[in-house]
Structure 1
Amino acid sequence: MDPKKKAITAAVVGTALGVGGLVFAAMPASAGDAPVLPPVSADDLVQSVVNAKHGAFDGTLKVTNNLGLPAAGNALPGMGALNADSAHVFTDGNGKSKVSVTRGTTQETFVRDGTTLWDYSSKNNSVTKTTIPAEALDKAKAHQDAQVTDPSTAASQLLAKVRESSNIAVNGTATVANRSAYELVLTPKPTERTLLREIRVAVDSQTRMPLRLSVLSNGTTTPALEVAFDDIKFADQPADLFTFTPPPGAKVTEKQPKIDDKTRAEAEKFADSTKVLGDGWDTVITGKLPADALNFKAPQGQGQGQGHEGRNADPKALLERFAKKVNGPWGSGYLITTKVGTGVLTDDGRFAAGAVPEQVLYEALGTK
């Protein structure tokens, strides 16, 4: 993906949904009687989730999206994941993974074997093979906390982030994916300015792996986003699961990202400009995109929303179509609103996003 497009997607779509990992962590429960489990305190349950080491597993999950996102379909990268009907996740617990996402009659499969990432789309029988640079692998190994390979990992990181700014309680038990689980409920403390009302997590009673997380926003009784394992098996996975062979007739595109001096300098500049304000439910991420990020144009012959999963979309055209034009003492720009978060991208390339009302973002944009 073009780095400029990747940057604007992260700023406008991904981070607009709130604190990191929220999109991938939200989960519905399977029906079943409430099991009888030994009592556990809320603090001990949260700590056990944060400390748990998730091993190999094979699980299927379903996605229910009531976020109120603009009807952009798959025009922006990452949007398709929110419109998934279901997914099948495999992991060996050591960095290798396979995820098959179903949307209607099509399926997209991602396989990571450690050094290579495969992306297969049944829609057009195409494959993208990306070789991960050694430098990136070394950096990932040195920062294991930054690796999110499955929804449960994202949920664990989310709990670790908001625990200090939350009122936490264990609210009974549940049966999720035919496994006994504790119901953990987190609500923001009164000082937190957020669009979220509560986060409910179903925690496996044995492995302490999050099996379900429901995100509810203010003023609603229906979760804004739910994703739940409806079946899961904790067991070693066959090695050949993580070896991908392109289907017959598939068009294969190979990529080997190069970390040259220019790319490294741009990445460092972007990282330096990015700040995290706050440390709880009202956390806001701010930063500045490259000067010409909004000037991306689709390659000749490919209009907006065309190409693999719509990745040739013109970011500025999409903003003008789906975002609201706003202005204030901080300048002018575009506002994207969902039930669980907001994001602002200014005309001069600054951005702010979080699970907060827009006024909190405007204040953040005025912070030096």
Structure 2
Amino acid sequence: MAPYASDDSTTGGESDDLRVGRRRAARYVVPVTVVGVAAATIGLVPAIADSGDPDLPKITAQQLVEKIAKSDVQQLSGTVKISTDLGLPDLGGLESSLASGAMGSGSGDGSSADPSAKLTELVSGTHTLRVAADGPDRQKLSLLEKASEYSLIHNGKDVWGYDSGSNEVFHGTADEPQAHKERSEKVPATPKDLTEEALKAVDDTTSVTVDGTAQVAGRDAYRLLIKPKQSGTTVGAITVAVDARTGMPLKFTLTPSSGGAAVIDAGFTQVSFAKPAASTFDFTPPKGAKVTEEGELEGAAGEHGGPKSEEEFRKELDKEFGGHGGPKSEGGHGKASDGPEVIGEGWNSVAVFDTGGEGVPSGSEVGGDMGGFLDSLGDKVTGDFGSGTVFKTRLINALITDDGKVYVGAVDKNALVKAADSAE
């Protein structure tokens, strides 16, 4: 990782490397799914709640970022609390039906134990996770719910997902194609995951400083503050509590520029760096459980006209929305090979692509719960580009024009309209 300057900005030499990292982190998907996918790709949170300001040796931003980069915690166990508030309207029954549709009903269309479906629940609400790790071959993440528990376990060659509520089991193997890995990594779930994504976004449009100290989960920590220098972005600030001894991020906070509660609050409430018991990673399907092998899910997707595997689906997204290094724009207008056009730079980057069809229909045209959902999210806008609808969250916004062009970014409505006007 390129070093950081110890003042409020990165140096010119670092900017090129960091800008490349930010481009590689750029992934855009057409709304309405953008509100979920983008939230999974970019983590957010409120100001770090700590129990004191420990007296620690002075450290520069460069030294603290290097400390994070060198952190190599192999063994740990603990509890993580993560809260996400994108500011979406209450979907009522629609939210439940969409979730069940995504996970499958257990009738052969999918498995409620499939990580690609289960972990997407983290994009809204408040959740408690238990995590454990013992080197690169043994990890466990458990999502604790009111009346059930979901666990994702990697032990050697085996990858297991278990949903106690439905008594369903997902099984994959680590030496198979990366489909199971794609599923488990799709949603950043720990402060370290979220911090790595945030650091990819740092370039010369960003201020990086050390903002005092904190105590998180009983451990002394430094606060790393990441703030956009540009106006027009929906990102206000990102704060990371970094363990003073190990360099591991303990808590991650992203607050929106609009103020109010953070979009996500993800942090350890308890953590230990002792070696977990080997039995922590043992798993045997319970008697009577329905077991779905990874290959069965891939085959079912192919039968229904979808991608044959998660790996193939990711490749399709990469090709369509800017894979192979991401959009390459130095500001103004740019376009990567096989990627979308990008307008602007840094935190104000807006990805542009053409759906090849008409814009999103109005709620009255769609009708029902989905129609109400679309109307609650969208604002009609006009400009030199014509007219369209802006879909809003507290972080990612998207403008879909009536002629089918899509403008997506972590920017406000005015910035989207301006980008669309400049493209004409």
The answer to whether TM tops 0.5 is yes
Q: Structure 1: which 5+ residue stretches go unaligned?
A: 1-5, 295-313
Structure 1 contact 16–353 (Cα < 8 Å) conserved: no
Partner SS, residue 348 of structure 2: coil
Name the CA shift for 1:263/1:165 in 2 (closer, same or farther; >3 Å): closer
2:60 aligns with one of 22, 28, 41: 41
Partner SS, residue 98 of structure 1: strand
1:299-310 pair list within 5 angstroms:
none
Deviation at 1:60, TM superposition (A): 0.6
Deviation at 1:100, TM superposition (A): 1.0
Deviation at 1:361, TM superposition (A): 3.3
Structure 2 contact 86–263 (Cα < 8 Å) conserved: yes
Residue aligning to 1:241: 280
Q: Greater shift after overlay, 329-338 or 160-169?
A: 329-338
Partner SS, residue 164 of structure 1: coil
Residue aligning to 2:42: 21
Deviation at 1:179, TM superposition (A): 0.5
Distance in 1, matches of 2:248 and 2:286, equals 34
Do structure 1's residue 159 and structure 2's residue 199 form an aligned pair?
Answer: yes
Distance in 1, matches of 2:34 and 2:379, equals 14
Name the CA shift for 1:319/1:234 in 2 (closer, same or farther; >3 Å): same
Residue aligning to 2:329: none
Structure 1 contact 110–117 (Cα < 8 Å) conserved: yes
AA in 2 matched with 1:80:
E
Distance in 1, matches of 2:189 and 2:215, equals 24
Deviation at 1:183, TM superposition (A): 1.6
Distance in 2, matches of 1:8 and 1:129, equals 31
Do structure 1's residue 280 and structure 2's residue 363 form an aligned pair?
Answer: no
Distance in 2, matches of 1:156 and 1:335, equals 29
Name the CA shift for 1:54/1:354 in 2 (closer, same or farther; >3 Å): farther
Do structure 1's residue 194 and structure 2's residue 233 form an aligned pair?
Answer: yes
Percent identity between matched residues is 28
1:107-126 pair list within 5 angstroms:
107-113=149-155, 116-126=158-168
AA in 2 matched with 1:34:
D
Q: Normalization by structure 2: what TM-score?
A: 0.64
Deviation at 1:79, TM superposition (A): 5.1
Show CA shifts across 1:108-136 (max 9, x none): 22223465543322332222334567443
Residue aligning to 2:81: 62
Name the CA shift for 1:186/1:106 in 2 (closer, same or farther; >3 Å): same
1:170-181 pair list within 5 angstroms:
170-181=210-221
Deviation at 1:172, TM superposition (A): 1.7
Show CA shifts across 1:82-129 (max 9, x none): 224311112234154221112333322222346554332233222233
AA in 1 matched with 2:217:
A
AA in 2 matched with 1:356:
V
Structure 2 contact 351–408 (Cα < 8 Å) conserved: yes
Partner SS, residue 408 of structure 2: strand
AA in 2 matched with 1:227:
A
Name the CA shift for 1:177/1:277 in 2 (closer, same or farther; >3 Å): farther
1:314-329 pair list within 5 angstroms:
320=374, 322-324=376-378, 326=380, 328=382
Deviation at 1:265, TM superposition (A): 7.7
Distance in 1, matches of 2:369 and 2:159, equals 25
Do structure 1's residue 353 and structure 2's residue 394 form an aligned pair?
Answer: no
Deviation at 1:213, TM superposition (A): 1.8
Do structure 1's residue 12 and structure 2's residue 37 form an aligned pair?
Answer: no
AA in 1 matched with 2:346:
G
Q: Normalization by structure 1: what TM-score?
A: 0.73
Show CA shifts across 1:173-208 (max 9, x none): 11101110012222221x342122222211110111
Distance in 1, matches of 2:312 and 2:68, equals 40
How many residue pairs align between the two structures? Answer: 336
Q: Structure 2: which 5+ residue stretches go unaligned?
A: 1-27, 103-118, 299-307, 322-337, 361-367
Name the CA shift for 1:56/1:38 in 2 (closer, same or farther; >3 Å): same
